[in-house]
């Protein structure tokens, strides 16, 4: 299982000809198909980053939208120009050209080794992805609006959770991260520095171009 950050507030390396912006998107490659989790805010920037990182947008077969905020679904319109016959998994019933829609309410399998938590209720309802890796499960989150504790609890129904990657907003119950092996606070996470200082050996900087092998 391979993850590639394609949209984030930061760029992982200056050697990459990619662009940062407020928003989040991550490409999930399970070895069989490519699944895009969120689409960032701007479609043209999303497509630019994908191509600069060697990803053909037309090869994306499925798109998962964590929640319906502009900085997570803003790239859908532009992305749809490259995809015909793909599937989209979202909490909204809004349809988009090029995709067959799956309205997510309950936990479900999206692809081999890729599962949705289902709709989790919070200040903003949201779904996260639970990804099967060699050492356990890793959670990919958009903004963690329902709460990291609730997301972790749902993911642990499948087994041991070893990683958490994505946006965490104002999350500061840092003790919840103690048992994890991979922590990568992205996008909107307010306390990135605090998490890094508390768990320096297992916190990995996020940014466009960052790759995670699970």
Walk across the sheet containing 86-90 and list its strands.
99-103, 86-90, 60-64, 34-37, 25-29, 2-7, 211-213
pLDDT of residue 144: 98
Banded pLDDT at 104 (limits 50, 70, 90): very high
Mean pLDDT of all residues in 99-121: 97
Residues 6+ apart with CB under 8 A from 98: 80, 81, 83, 84, 85, 86
Instruction: Give 34-86 pLDDT, tens digit per residue.
Output: 999 999 999 999 999 999 999 999 999 999 999 999 999 999 999 999 998 99
The sheet carrying 129-132 orders its strands as 108-111, 114-116, 129-132, 137-141, 161-167, 182-186
Q: Exposed, middle or buried, 82 (CB in 10 Å: 0-12/13-18/19+)?
A: middle
Rounded average pLDDT over 10-14:
95
Domain ranges of the chain: 2-207
Q: What is the mean pLDDT of residues 165-186?
A: 97
Mean pLDDT of 141-164: 98
Mean pLDDT of all residues in the chain? 97
Q: Please check the confidence at residue 97 and state whether its pLDDT lies above 90.
A: no
The yes/no answer on whether domain 2-207 falls in CATH 3.40.50.1100 is no
Closest Cα partner for 77 from 122, 44, 111?
A: 44
pTM reported for the whole predicted model:
0.97
Tell me how far apart the alpha carbons of residues 17 and 21 are, in angstroms, rounded to a whole number: 14
The pLDDT value recorded for residue 34 is 98
Looking at residues 148-172, what average pLDDT do you find? 97
Tokens of residue 12, six digits: 């992982």
């Amino acid at each position: 299982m391979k993850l590639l950050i394609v949209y984030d507030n930061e760029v992982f390396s200056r050697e990459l000809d990619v662009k940062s912006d407020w928003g989040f998107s991550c490409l999930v490659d399970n070895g069989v198909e490519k699944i895009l989790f969120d689409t960032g805010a701007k479609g043209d920037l999303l497509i630019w980053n994908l191509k600069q990182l060697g990803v053909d947008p037309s090869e994306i077969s499925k798109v998962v939208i964590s929640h319906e905020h502009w900085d997570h679904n803003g790239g859908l319109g532009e992305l749809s120009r490259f995809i015909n016959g793909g599937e989209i998994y979202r909490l909204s019933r809004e349809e988009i050209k090029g995709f067959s829609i799956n309205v997510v309410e309950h936990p479900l399998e999206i692809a081999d080794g890729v599962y949705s938590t289902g709709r989790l209720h919070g200040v903003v309802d949201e779904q996260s992805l639970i990804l099967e890796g060699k050492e356990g499960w890793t959670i990919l989150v958009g903004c963690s609006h329902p709460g990291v504790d609730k997301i972790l609890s749902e993911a642990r129904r499948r087994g041991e959770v070893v990683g958490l990657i994505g946006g965490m907003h104002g999350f500061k119950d840092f003790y919840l991260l103690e048992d994890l092996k991979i922590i990568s606070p992205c996008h909107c996470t307010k306390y990135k520095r605090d998490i890094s200082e508390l768990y320096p050996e297992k916190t990995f900087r996020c940014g466009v171009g960052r790759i995670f092998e699970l």
